Structure 1
Amino acid sequence: MDLGTAPTALIGRYDGCSVGELLTELSAESKARLASEIREWVAVVAWADQNVVDTGVPIAGPGAPLVSEFELMELIAVLGRTPDGGRMHVGRIIECAWRLPSVYAAVIAGRIPPYKAHRIADQTRSLTPDAAAFVDRQLAAVANVSWAQLDRLITEAILRFDPERAEAERKKASEHRFCEVSDVDEHGNALITAVVDIADGHDFNTAIAREAEVRGRLGDEGSLDARRAQAVGAIARRDLALDLLTTDEDTGEITVRSAGRKVVMDLHITDTTLTGENPVGRWGDEPVTTAQIKQWLRSRETTSIVVRPVIDLADCIPVGSYEIPDRHKHRVRSRRHTCSFPNCTTPAVKCDIDHEVPHAEGGPTCPCNLNPLCRRHHRAKTFSEWHYLQIAPGHFLWTSPHGRLFLVGPGGTRALDPPRAIDP
């Protein structure tokens, strides 16, 4: 079978190279990448050593230095990482350098790859200094440890040096149960995740199996899995009805009142919507199909319907106070769905609403001067030298305390600093 050949433009300088030559090149690139990672580790440790403050934030385990919160934000932005991911990345390096010196030395010497050291640091961060030192000593002798061996080593360290924690975790594990429903996806489905007592799990499985079987006997042609999924809702709605049984004190008559569903949809109205060609509904921020909406609203007797029109996102009507009205918050969060800080992915619904030009300096409380910032980056903009300018709707030019520039827009974050050559 002829699969063709790749265009020369895609191969570039490797055109005509043999497989052996390509493997040699790939090996060299892999070594260069590892060397680059190691240099980054050394540079991060040097950075941490210069940014230790008494009131800093802890990003590694007990005994590791506290680093400046706002300087850390700049480092993370320069590394091109998300705020949370960058915080974890830097914290792992500091964990190794200060609490796992043998592991750190092995990374610098190339005996332990950085990705494995990251995993080790994740495991040791919660340990006491003595327990972390024990793990470090054990790993110094055996660099090529499996994940299972590492887990056992961490468990042993906790048992040896923190027996109270070990006992508390044992008891907590027996009560570590939960049941949660995820956000709806684009098909109107949600994921139910639970950890329950085995007896409760058995009863639940029996109940949905029986409900699914009954549905099949009554003519439901859906698959067994689909019928089991529908059974969950049917069982839940019966329980809602049972919770709302009321008895008339005079007649003794029992009345059943089911709360049913309450569906809240944001309907985006366009000219084609009015003709029935392009209706779009949303559950929260997720779009759903017309068919899904019809299914939710099919039972009018047990469904409460609230329809909210979406306001014009381009509208700009200021108010005279510092407090931001809900209609402005809704407009701002509909316009930008995440925090406006570089690489931050915090949903706008969980963010503060920031006055780009502070209200105290004459900035209006108007959607054109309001943008979502998560609490962490709102504080950075307010209390440090981080600042931004909205150069176009939805496009923000951020400047870090040391003058680094980052352009944030619908397509993500782009560092505007020219690349610099790094000495080998």
Structure 2
Amino acid sequence: MDLGTSGTATTVSTASLLSWIADDAEVRDHLLVREWMNIVAWAGANIVDGAEGAATLTEGYLDTGVPIAGPGAPLVSEFQLMELIAVLGRTPEGGRSYVGQVVECAWRLPLLYAAVVDGRVAPWRAQRIADLTRSLPEQAAGFVDRHLNAAVGGVGWAQLERLVTEAILRFDPERAEAERQAANDRRHCDVHMDEVDAHGGVHLDAYLDAADGHDFNQAVAREAHLRGQLGDESSLDVRRAKAVGAIARRDLALDLLIADETTGEVLAQAPGRRVELNVHITDTALTAQAQGSRDGRCATSSTTNTVGRWDEGRCPVTTAQIREWLQVPGSTVIVPPVIDLADCVPVDSYEIPDRHQRRVRLRDHTCRFPNCPQQAVRCDLDHAPPHAAGGKTCPCNLVPLCRRHHRAKTHSTWRYQVTSPGHYLWTSPHGHHFHVGPAGTTPLDGH
């Protein structure tokens, strides 16, 4: 509704309201970008040279250069900063944080800052990124900046935090290892038997190694599923709680220390950890290997990667951590055969074979709806042109969509087209367009 000067309500269409809101947001961002550019110019004019804590005599008073961004960003005049914050109308702490975010972007994340100035990235998004990179070494901040350059508009916060974690692993491994060891020392598993409630229940609280937590979750999920198949009509949560007790009782029934008195052979063994190890071969690795072969040396010495990926946890981990996980006694390590993600061999049935599901999920990683971070392994696979309308059951025609966005595509006027494998053009109910691809989500309206 729009109230005119006479107070009479005028009906306005949803499409018009959306258009006005979009126009106002564009004006707001334009003004904020101009403020950023003025702050950067201000910072350049008020740099205090010297190490942290250095003081200079300015107009009869002692002025100190203060660091408000990460290593490599300039120190700015403390007193001039106070004035700027007052002009901005912000609190001292809030203003210092805000100006620091802008300086962090301009000096340590120059590609991100250029994207803000060009209108490709919203200032608020850049501010949150700056908060994450401020504690990083200069090289690590540059690594994050380069990797965000092509995809920052569509990177979710969880993915961004993983990128920052990877930067720490690559450029500050001592810090990463120290933090990992400190976290390991905080591991615990507490069953609060001194706090049994009136219903005979207790709380279990634990902080585990991620792989141990994964194994425990798998065991509980399997036990809960089997109980359901055997007729237990309890909810899934209740069955999972029962599963913990059942697993514990089976373990108590085993005596892993019993061995053959003659040979010493252990007579009872617990099933070990099952690990699937995916070794990714990239064009860069193949080129380096070929170059190494021509030079008569092993290419791995100069191209060793210290960072791996844990698919279940959706995060980077050190190769040292991976080695620890693989060396757990009794572990079974499976290295699957080479998979060509570009392979495109359709099948006649509507049902999707496992080999196709694997290719699609390795290709797309997440739900392909704009900005949705849901893991592809937890998504439905949608036939882009429906199978009933002649759509093929083939990786090039299969798209991971979480249940919510699968329903939106099926039951609303959200639509998408596959422009090429892994690239999707979405159209919203009111005609807004988005490109979703390996670099994330890019709004296309106005570009």
> Which TM-score applies when normalising by structure 1?
0.42
